[in-house]
Amino acid sequence: MFTKTKINKPILLLAALLLLIFNAIILIIWLSGTTNIINDLKMFINYIMTNMFSLVIFADLIVFSIITIIWMYIDCTRRKMKLQFRIIIIFLAIIIGSPVLLMYIAFRKKNE
70 falls within a domain = yes
Written as one letter, the residue type at 36 is: N
Written as one letter, the residue type at 26 is: I
1 falls within a domain = no
pLDDT in tens, 68-78: 999 999 999 99
Element at 6 (helix H, strand E) = none
44 falls within a domain = yes
Domain extent, residue 89, equals 9-107
2 falls within a domain = no
pLDDT in tens, 31-84: 888 888 888 888 888 988 998 998 999 899 899 989 999 999 999 999 888 999
Number of domains in the chain: 1
**Summary mean pLDDT of the chain:** 86
CA distance 25 to 31: 10
101 falls within a domain = yes
pTM for this model (two decimals): 0.73
